[in-house]
Amino acid sequence: MWPTPDEKYYGLAGGLSPYNLDEQLEKISQTCRVPIWVDTETGVRGNSYTKDDIDDFNIHKVWKFLSVAKRWVIQ
């Protein structure tokens, strides 16, 4: 469950990846009424979620993450 921030600008992190971002942002939007930023690091590394390739930055995952996040951007 995501927190309900009461600050004007809030950041969230924890397990976000290109594969769950849309679902999680939908859940976040149900409780959060302030602009937020999201963080990912592990979610955009490697070809899978195994420890063996966690150090490899994956630009394709970054592109997918940003593509999913784009519809949630407030302008």
Residue 5 falls inside a structural domain: no
Q: Say what the pLDDT of residue 48 is.
A: 57
pLDDT of 17 over the 60 cut: yes
Strand partners, 11: 37
H or E stretch including 69?
A: helix 59-70
Residue 6 falls inside a structural domain: no
Structural domain harbouring 24: 17-70
40 vs 46, residue with greater confidence: 40
Please state the domain count of the chain: 1
Go through 8-42 and write b for each residue having 16 or more CB atoms within 10 A of its CB, e for each that does not.
eeeebeeebbbeebeebbeebeeebeeebebebee
- Whole-structure pTM value: 0.76
41: alpha, beta or left, given left = phi > 0 and alpha = psi -120 to 50? alpha
